[in-house]
A and B are shown apart, each in its own frame.
Chain A
């Protein structure tokens, strides 16, 4: 019975993203180093314990207090090794933080206890997300209540979804299949049931999935409707009557603020400018915009941002 159990026992998770093999390579390196030192220490202890076990007529030698050369050696070697680990781990992490520019976009809102996903074309999913193999996907995430964490073990990626701000995560699936999606940040009663699936499809299958049962408003369209409904266009317009900055082509570009600082109009900036307009005033404009805190839902915000980004597409 035991052997059959062991043979069916997985030791490593499936490797289904470009990041997975990079993380695993470092993992195996660390296992190698750890095993070497663990075995070394264990062997020394056992050998010493047997070799020097209570001897008759033992007299303590006037042993040195220590040996500087030895101390320096066993300080320097681990130090060198951990610095290799640091640089290696940091390079992986930096890559995890840099989504490729051509990544597909999708938006994720965590809520106790479900994952709400919306694709750029407006398609919504709950507790599952379809992605194409071989194409980078960038998720922009937030939460409606408490902190959640989007975790796909097969991709070796994880990122908290934090209420009140955006975080991002990207991956590129390498193998078609259905993979676990876990909430990894404790969020209450059904935390362990806040799970789902990441379904990676071959490009052709993904295209077929996209083609099926569409017809929903795209995110940008929905955002445009909200934009009209809230009367944003009365100030953010292209003519001389504009009391707010023009939005076309804004997303992703640097913005000059009062006081001379320059920020990049990323998602976080756009979100802040809607919810807390006084925080960053664009040079040449008055701080007259009211807050829209409480008037727009988290999904509505994501749609508004998608709309602002689509304005950029028109200009280009």
Chain B
């Protein structure tokens, strides 16, 4: 079964810059996205580092008020719209969706490449806004601050996000059509890998949510540019209406970040437990349930905004409801470990770390759904800590786990296992040290987006900054050794983890056409056994 490294594969099928910039191969486009979002992650990370350094002292001695505001805005906009949202879908999703369902490519390869160009255009416009004076609205662009009060580059930043929204839409559209129309013979819905289910649910949100944020930011830009009132309270316009429209996308956007990560973890756990995943259909259906219910809970960001009490109560109830599918996933992952044969390689460490951090993030979400507590902790560091546990502890851990897990397939090389384990440990420790103190800070009442703060909050802030520096090292390490391994790593075999799944049935790195022959699928996913010739014949 162990095939030698193929002579011709997608990486060396063609050479030169042009062969990359005009590629329509989903695997190469995935790598193009990897380069783009890694650069954005570095920029967003630097902004975060400056924010944390500045918060070492209560007086905020490092930068001015305005600079601080622009830094956290830059951090938020870049990390949300240009790193977290595209991270797993555009990199791993692009690379893996056709491989996992046995297709030669996505349905619309040209649109796929176009989406990468659109993404970069959006990113450049936003960076231009940041570099020529910055934006200070926060990533939330609340009106009337963004339309009437801020005198920074709001229109350009909104335009950049508007543009990049189309890359999300094209990516989601491509995945939905591909998953519906191009699965290999025999791959029924309940035989799809769970990663595909999660990407499908994510695409759903891309399609339904992104256009609403696009038009909302367009309206903000138009109001600012032409001095017409759309949300202007002086004309009777309603600033809270903006918040409804904004969170209709931006709450589900959190699920855009976490669902693919859950999909990655659902691949890693069974592989490194040598066990069939426990409760396959419950995990699959809960992804869809999260995507759907996720559209019904946006108002929990607005409990103190002045929205109606009825609406607040309804949103609180539904927010609790959306916790259930997440809990189901965590229990099923844990049950998958039971009586398996657990192999603690780096991807597994990331996956187990994900479960731990996501559990904390999810449980603290209950505090925020609980409307009586939310009144106290909303807009404080409690919220900051909570969403970092989900979006960084959850989404980024899953992303890193996935990158390690599929790195042999992507690059054809193995990464240095020892370094990878150390990095996973550093990330886990650094993350908790950074963000756990922020729960305490938030309950004590420290509001978010505060440049200066009362001195009694300093100890916890110093702990958080110390953790952030450890976390920074943890994120730097994989970048270094993964790049190193591309040149110096050992050649990887076709299936180094002895995993199931169609992507492991083709050489590493895969040929441009993915499969020499269209594969057929007999069993459900995660079945660790041999097929006999009889079965192959029956389906064929």
Q: Do chains A and B touch in the complex (CB under 8 A)?
A: yes
Task: Name A's B-contacting residues (CB within 8 A).
Answer: 5, 8-13, 22-23, 26-27, 30, 33-34, 37-38, 41-42, 44-45, 48-49, 52-55, 58, 60-61, 63, 65-67, 70-71, 74-75, 78-79, 82-83, 85-86, 88-94, 96-97, 112, 145-147, 149, 151, 153-154, 156-160, 162-165, 167, 180, 182-193, 276, 293
CA distance A151 to B447 in the complex (A): 9
Top 10 A-B pairs, shortest CB-CB distance: A153-B445, A92-B372, A164-B233, A89-B370, A66-B279, A192-B450, A48-B337, A58-B341, A34-B363, A89-B372
Does A37 lie within 8 Å of B373, measured CB to CB? no
A186-B341 in contact given A34-B364, A93-B372, A162-B305 (Cβ < 8 Å) = no
Give the one of B149, B328, B369 with max A CB within 10 A.
Answer: B149
Does A74 lie within 8 Å of B328, measured CB to CB? yes
Residues of chain A within 8 A of B341, CB atoms compared: 52-55, 58
Does A187 lie within 8 Å of B145, measured CB to CB? yes
Give the one of A37, A187, A276 with max B CB within 10 A.
Answer: A37
Interface presence of B327 (CB below 8 A): yes
Residues of chain A within 8 A of B447, CB atoms compared: 151, 182-184, 192
Does A160 lie within 8 Å of B305, measured CB to CB? yes
Does A158 lie within 8 Å of B366, measured CB to CB? no
Interface presence of B304 (CB below 8 A): yes
A191-B450 in contact given A26-B372, A41-B359 (Cβ < 8 Å) = yes
CA distance A48 to B269 in the complex (A): 12
Can you name 14 A-B residue pairings with CB atoms under 8 Å? A23-B375, A30-B373, A34-B364, A44-B337, A52-B337, A60-B276, A78-B324, A86-B320, A90-B313, A160-B304, A163-B239, A164-B234, A190-B65, A192-B450
Interface presence of B404 (CB below 8 A): no
CA distance A297 to B43 in the complex (A): 44
Q: Which of B149, B239, B379, B448 lies in contact with A162, CB distance below 8 A?
A: B239
CA distance A71 to B334 in the complex (A): 12
Closest chain B residue to A56, Cβ basis:
B341
CA distance A238 to B60 in the complex (A): 60
Residues of chain B within 8 A of A5, CB atoms compared: 459
Q: Which of A41, A55, A94, A190 lies in contact with B330, CB distance below 8 A?
A: A41
Residues of chain B within 8 A of A60, CB atoms compared: 274-276, 528-529
Closest chain B residue to A154, Cβ basis:
B445
Does A162 lie within 8 Å of B240, measured CB to CB? yes
Residues of chain A within 8 A of B337, CB atoms compared: 44-45, 48-49, 52
CA distance A147 to B449 in the complex (A): 14
Does B276 lie within 8 Å of A63, measured CB to CB? yes
Residues of chain B within 8 A of A27, CB atoms compared: 367, 373, 443
Residues of chain A within 8 A of B328, CB atoms compared: 71, 74-75
Closest chain A residue to B318, Cβ basis:
A86
Closest chain B residue to A192, Cβ basis:
B450
Residues of chain A within 8 A of B335, CB atoms compared: 70
Q: Which of A44, A52, A276 lies in contact with B342, CB distance below 8 A?
A: A52
A162-B306 in contact given A60-B275, A90-B371 (Cβ < 8 Å) = yes
Residues of chain A within 8 A of B373, CB atoms compared: 23, 26-27, 30, 89, 92
Q: Which of A9, A94, A147, A193 lies in contact with B142, CB distance below 8 A?
A: A147
**Chain A min CB distance to B308 (Å):** 10
Closest chain A residue to B331, Cβ basis:
A74
Closest chain A residue to B283, Cβ basis:
A66
**Chain B min CB distance to A63 (Å):** 5
Interface presence of B355 (CB below 8 A): yes
Interface presence of B418 (CB below 8 A): no
5 more contacts with CB within 8 A, not counting A30-B373, A85-B320, A165-B233, are: A30-B367, A45-B355, A93-B371, A153-B444, A183-B447
Residues of chain A within 8 A of B138, CB atoms compared: 186
Does B366 lie within 8 Å of A82, measured CB to CB? yes
A13-B356 in contact given A66-B278, A189-B69 (Cβ < 8 Å) = no
Interface presence of B62 (CB below 8 A): no
**Chain A min CB distance to B279 (Å):** 4
CB under 8 Å from chain A, chain B span 452-472: 452-454, 456, 459-460
CA distance A246 to B446 in the complex (A): 48
Residues of chain B within 8 A of A188, CB atoms compared: 69, 136, 145, 149-150
CA distance A185 to B302 in the complex (A): 11
A9-B352 in contact given A71-B328, A146-B145, A151-B379 (Cβ < 8 Å) = no
Mask: chain B, 313-338; 1 = CB below 8 Å from A; 0 = not: 10011001101100110111011011
**Chain A min CB distance to B135 (Å):** 12
Closest chain B residue to A163, Cβ basis:
B233
Mask: chain B, 270-294; 1 = CB below 8 Å from A; 0 = not: 0001111011111000000000000
Interface presence of B127 (CB below 8 A): no
CA distance A96 to B371 in the complex (A): 10
CA distance A74 to B326 in the complex (A): 11
Does A165 lie within 8 Å of B274, measured CB to CB? no
Interface presence of B376 (CB below 8 A): yes
CA distance A149 to B332 in the complex (A): 41
**Chain A min CB distance to B298 (Å):** 16
Residues of chain B within 8 A of A11, CB atoms compared: 440, 443-444
Does A34 lie within 8 Å of B66, measured CB to CB? no
Residues of chain A within 8 A of B303, CB atoms compared: 93
Interface presence of B131 (CB below 8 A): no
Closest chain A residue to B152, Cβ basis:
A188
CA distance A183 to B145 in the complex (A): 14
Q: Which of A9, A23, A55, A67 lies in contact with B459, CB distance below 8 A?
A: A9
**Chain B min CB distance to A6 (Å):** 9
Does A10 lie within 8 Å of B456, measured CB to CB? yes
**Chain A min CB distance to B274 (Å):** 6
CA distance A97 to B306 in the complex (A): 11
**Chain B min CB distance to A75 (Å):** 6
Residues of chain A within 8 A of B452, CB atoms compared: 192-193
Residues of chain A within 8 A of B414, CB atoms compared: none
CA distance A156 to B376 in the complex (A): 5
Closest chain A residue to B340, Cβ basis:
A52
Does B320 lie within 8 Å of A83, measured CB to CB? yes
CA distance A11 to B313 in the complex (A): 29
CB under 8 Å from chain A, chain B span 335-368: 335, 337-344, 352, 355-356, 359-360, 363-364, 366-367
Residues of chain B within 8 A of A96, CB atoms compared: 372, 375
CA distance A65 to B332 in the complex (A): 11
Does B342 lie within 8 Å of A48, measured CB to CB? yes
Does A192 lie within 8 Å of B342, measured CB to CB? no
Q: Which of A37, A65, A185 lies in contact with B363, CB distance below 8 A?
A: A37
Does B332 lie within 8 Å of A66, measured CB to CB? yes
**Chain A min CB distance to B523 (Å):** 12
CA distance A65 to B270 in the complex (A): 12
Does A180 lie within 8 Å of B445, measured CB to CB? yes
Does B69 lie within 8 Å of A9, measured CB to CB? no
Does B275 lie within 8 Å of A85, measured CB to CB? no
CB under 8 Å from chain A, chain B span 5-46: none
Closest chain A residue to B309, Cβ basis:
A97
CA distance A13 to B233 in the complex (A): 35
